[in-house]
Structure formats: structure tokens, C-alpha cells
């Protein structure tokens, strides 16, 4: 027959079990913004934040979100979470406002990104005699790469009307356009091998195809969560509770990083109730949740 001490012991064990489910592991607080860019899954602002498949490529130094590939580091200008598109700029790229030499842009073959259909590349100042681009070859690969649509395209005519490009004193026939963007299975564009001195990339003409000064220069990259590209429900619940999707441990297990800098196994609601004397969410989390709700509409 159980006495009062037995009941107390069982109750204590139950409390310990419930607390273990909360996984109150104190850690760093994952930032909700990188500069002015809000951070939601799969992106994170520090080690252990976001999706581990993406943190290898997209990092935050506190002010600037950056995409890094084997060809360099590129500032992230914005993220369209609704359509899963990352927009970046290349400091070595030419535009209607300036021209400069570049080594080109490439993606890592195993990165969770691909070129968005809106991205158009134009190689400029290429050698007509030795460049392989006019044979439909990128980086020496003569297969699986479309032929250049050069000379007659609107983009070539428009970009060569820009003063910095026109001052190159090269014929418009050296302009080579790839649309939609396709760099072959290796996602590689080596301008040295192509005998081209520069390139430009545009992801929106702003409805003004003949006015290159109004174009949006940069590269749009599509990203995928997984094979089905479904937003993980456990991550959605974590963000709705004011947390940040994160990972921990040797096997990169999911954890919900809460505003109290405590990692939870499910969401931040239980953690908030367990931590007495603290505000459920800090004031800035309301702004983050409002942005998230707008993105989900």
C-alpha cells in the first residue's frame, strides 16, 4: 500500500520527466534579423541556427547576410520566402552604371540552390576568335549547355547602349546571352576559360526591357527545403511560438531556439510556462511574428 512519501516520490519523478521533455538547454540566442533581412527557416544568423544544409553557404556577420561558393562571397540583398528565392549581388559584375573585369560566378554542385528562371546572364567583351561560348560551351563542356543567343537580343542591344559598356570599344557581337540560365551540371562559369572579360546578370527588367538603367541587376537563386519542398511542420510550430528553427548535437537534431536562449524539443510555449518571472516573448518578437504571418498569407 502506497504512503504519502511514495506519492511524493512518484510526483517528483513525473515532474522530472516533464522537465526532460522541455529540454532546457541554455544556448546562444539565434538572431531574428541579419541587418535588415528577417531570418526564417532555412536560414540562420549564427552557428546552430537555421538548417545545417544552408549554414554552410549562407552566413551572417551581424550586419550582412552572405552567400559563399568556391568562386567568392556574395551579399544577399533580399529573400522572397513566399517563392523560396534568394537574391544576391556580385561585386565584380558589370551593370549599366559601371563595367569591370570578373572571373565569373559559380554555384557549388551540392548546394541546395539552382538558378531561378528569371535570371538572365550576358557575357560581355568576349574574344570572337578563341572564346568557346559561340559553340555553346561553358567551361569546356560542349554538352547540356544551350547555344548563345547573341547579337540580336534586346538585352545585348540595351546593355551596349550604356556608357560604361560602350566605352569598352568592343562589338555587340561579343555579347553572349544565356536565358534561362544554364551553366550545365557543374553550375560553373569560368570567364577565363571562356575568354570573356566580364558579365552582367539581371533578374528583373521592371517592365522596361529597353531601359537598362531601370533593370534589377543580380542573381536570383531558387532554394529547396527537401525533395518534396514542404515546409517542416515542426519548424512552422516553433516559429509560431516565437522561436527559431535550429539544430544541435552530433547528428544535427532539430531544436527550437526560444527567446529566453533556451532550446526546446517542440516549441517555446512550454518553455515560456516553465520559466516563471519572464516575459513570454520579448518586444521585438512581435515584429518578427508579424512578418512571418504576412509571408504565410
How far is the C-alpha of 34 from the C-alpha of 15, rounded, in Å? 38
192-226 pLDDT, tens digit each = 888 888 999 999 999 999 999 999 999 999 998 87
Question: pLDDT at position 85, please?
Answer: 97
Question: pLDDT at position 225, please?
Answer: 85
Look up cell 537598362; give the residue. Answer: 212
* Beta bridge partner(s), residue 201: 121
Average pLDDT, the chain: 79
Question: pLDDT at position 91, please?
Answer: 93
54-91 pLDDT, tens digit each = 999 999 998 899 999 999 999 999 999 999 999 999 99
Question: pLDDT at position 170, please?
Answer: 83
- Mean pLDDT score, 236-253: 92
Strand order in the sheet with 72-80: 58-60, 65-69, 72-80, 85-88, 219-223, 113-115
Residue 77 sits at φ, ψ, to 5 deg, of -90, -30
Question: pLDDT at position 296, please?
Answer: 55
Is a pLDDT exceeding 50 seen at residue 20?
no
Question: pLDDT at position 196, please?
Answer: 86
Which residue did the predictor score with more confidence, 229 or 266? 266
- Mean pLDDT score, 94-101: 94
Question: pLDDT at position 4, please?
Answer: 54
Which residue did the predictor score with more confidence, 148 or 166? 166
Question: pLDDT at position 161, please?
Answer: 92
Question: pLDDT at position 144, please?
Answer: 43
Question: pLDDT at position 66, please?
Answer: 97
Give the DSSP per-residue string, the chain. Answer: ---HHHHHHHHHHHHHHHHHHH--EE-PPPPSEETTEE--TT--SSTTBS-HHHHTTEEE-SS-EEEEETTEEEEEEEEETTTTEEEE--TT---SS-----------TTSSEEE-TT-EEEEEEE-TTT-GGGGT-BTTB-SS-PPP--SSSHHHHHHTTSHHHHTT---GGG-EEESS---TTTT---HHHHTEEEEEEEEE-TT-TT-GGGSEESEEEEE-SSSS-PPPHHHHHHHHTT-EEEEETTTTEEEEE-TTSEEESS-HHHHHHHSTTS-SS-HHHHHHHHHHHHHH-
How far is the C-alpha of 91 from the C-alpha of 192, rounded, in Å? 17
Question: With a threshold of 0.85, does the pTM exceed it?
Answer: no
How far is the C-alpha of 206 from the C-alpha of 87, rounded, in Å? 15
Is a pLDDT exceeding 80 seen at residue 295?
no
How far is the C-alpha of 123 from the C-alpha of 146, rounded, in Å? 14
Question: pLDDT at position 155, please?
Answer: 85
Question: pLDDT at position 188, please?
Answer: 73
Q: Which range scores top for mean pLDDT: 4-8, 65-69, 117-121, 170-174?
A: 65-69
Amino acid at each position: 500500500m502506497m504512503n504519502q512519501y511514495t506519492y511524493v516520490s512518484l510526483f517528483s519523478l513525473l515532474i522530472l520527466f516533464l522537465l526532460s521533455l522541455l529540454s532546457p538547454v541554455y544556448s546562444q540566442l539565434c538572431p531574428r534579423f541579419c541587418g535588415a533581412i528577417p531570418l526564417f527557416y532555412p536560414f540562420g544568423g549564427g552557428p546552430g541556427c537555421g538548417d545545417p544544409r544552408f549554414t554552410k553557404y549562407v552566413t551572417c556577420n551581424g550586419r550582412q547576410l552572405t552567400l559563399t561558393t568556391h568562386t567568392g562571397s556574395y551579399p544577399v540583398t533580399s529573400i522572397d520566402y513566399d517563392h523560396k528565392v534568394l537574391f544576391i549581388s556580385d561585386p565584380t559584375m558589370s551593370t549599366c552604371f559601371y563595367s569591370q573585369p570578373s572571373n565569373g560566378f559559380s554555384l557549388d554542385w551540392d548546394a541546395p540552390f539552382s538558378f531561378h528562371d528569371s535570371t538572365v546572364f550576358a557575357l560581355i567583351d568576349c574574344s570572337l576568335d578563341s572564346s568557346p561560348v559561340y559553340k555553346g560551351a561553358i567551361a569546356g563542356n560542349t554538352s547540356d549547355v544551350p547555344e548563345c543567343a547573341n547579337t540580336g537580343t534586346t538585352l545585348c542591344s540595351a546593355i551596349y547602349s550604356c556608357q560604361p559598356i560602350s566605352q569598352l570599344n568592343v562589338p555587340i557581337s561579343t555579347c553572349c546571352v544565356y536565358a534561362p540560365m544554364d551553366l550545365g551540371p557543374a553550375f560553373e562559369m569560368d570567364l577565363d576559360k571562356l575568354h570573356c572579360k566580364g558579365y552582367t546578370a539581371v533578374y528583373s527588367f521592371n517592365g522596361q526591357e529597353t531601359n537598362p538603367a531601370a533593370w534589377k541587376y543580380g542573381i536570383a537563386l531558387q532554394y529547396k527545403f527537401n525533395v518534396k519542398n514542404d515546409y517542416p511542420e515542426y519548424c512552422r510550430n516553433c516559429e509560431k511560438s516565437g522561436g527559431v528553427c535550429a539544430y544541435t548535437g552530433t547528428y544535427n537534431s532539430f531544436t527550437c531556439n526560444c527567446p529566453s536562449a533556451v532550446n526546446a524539443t517542440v516549441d517555446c510555449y512550454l518553455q515560456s510556462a516553465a520559466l516563471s518571472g519572464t516575459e513570454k516573448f520579448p518586444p521585438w518578437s512581435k515584429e518578427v511574428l508579424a512578418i512571418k504571418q504576412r509571408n504565410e498569407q
